[in-house]
Amino acid sequence: MLPDPCIRSIVNDYVEQVETALPGLLAGFYIYGSIALGDYSLSLSDIDFVAVIRSELNSGQLVLLAEVHRTVASKSRKPNMNGIYVTPQQLGKLPHEIAPYPYYCDNRLYASGYFECNLVTWAELKESGIGIIGPDPSLLEYEVDWNELLLRMRDNLNSYWHSWIQQSSRLWTAKGLALLGREAAEWGVLGISRLHYTFRENRITTKAGAGEYALLHVDPRWHSIIQEAIHYRRGKPSIYHSIGRRRSDALAYMLYMIEECNGLAASSG
């Protein structure tokens, strides 16, 4: 059951329009991500979806599908839909195993790519996805290798997140200036906290859930910046009087978390 009437309306409208324009296309349609995990925000969250299609789309079908998305988006700008179109045989696979597939992101339908093609997507879908069409997500015919997921998550920690922190630490850059704002601080603080949770618990949680978990497991000196990120996620006012202090606290916490996560990954691997 979708948790919010606005989300239900968007999803129902989309499904009805796809069935009208391309009858029988959808063998399955699933919502995953923050909405399925119970941490959605109508202003911050996307409607993350996996559409299971009976066969690969041709150019004519792509045109019709793009028109469906345009129509749905024109009725409700928030939250956005973001998702992928895969065949049953592509479920659970990684880029080196399958051909690229169509995906919809930032109000545009792309003919092919590997958007969200990773083990976290497949784990979230199977463990917490909401089925709109098709069998229950837990019954989908693929398995997630958690050892492989944790290895890839460690690579992500030391590539994407390490680079993000380095770039954000230089103030007079786009990322450095962005970190003066609450949105970038929330993205970094809660994003890296989700990795911390997964390394400790071998599960996936929400951003806010990861923040709440971190409050129970890290030194109190980090509590202010974690709480600030959770407050932003939940639409609450800032607890910081200085944006410079918030920025420095966010950077220090993320650097601390890089070390913590690497230690957890090493001990488990």
Cα 216 from chain centroid? 23
Other CB atoms within 10 A of residue 171 CB: 12
Q: What is the pLDDT of residue 41?
A: 73
Q: Is the pLDDT of residue 5 over 90?
A: no
DSSP H or E stretch at residue 31:
strand 26-32
Q: Is the pLDDT of residue 269 over 70?
A: no
The SS3 of residue 75 is: helix
Residues 9-39 pLDDT 10s? 999 999 999 999 999 999 999 999 988 988 8
Give the three-state DSSP class for 111. Answer: strand
Tell me what the mean pLDDT of segment 263-268 comes to: 85
86 touches 101 (CB < 8 A): yes
Give yes or no for a contact between 32 and 123, defined as CB atoms under 8 angstroms apart: no
Model confidence over 169-220: pLDDT tens digits?
Answer: 999 999 999 999 999 999 999 999 999 999 999 999 999 999 999 999 999 9
Q: What is the pLDDT of residue 123?
A: 96
Angle between helices 223-233 and 182-201 (to 10 degrees): 110
Cα 215 to Cα 223: distance, rounded to the nearest angstrom: 6
Strand order in the sheet with 81-86: 108-113, 101-105, 81-86, 47-53, 26-32, 130-133
Q: How far is CA 156 from the centre of its chain?
A: 14
- The sign one gets for the Cα dihedral 227, 231, 232, 233 is positive
pLDDT one-digit tens code per residue, 59-118? 999 999 999 999 999 987 778 899 999 999 999 999 999 999 999 999 999 999 999 999
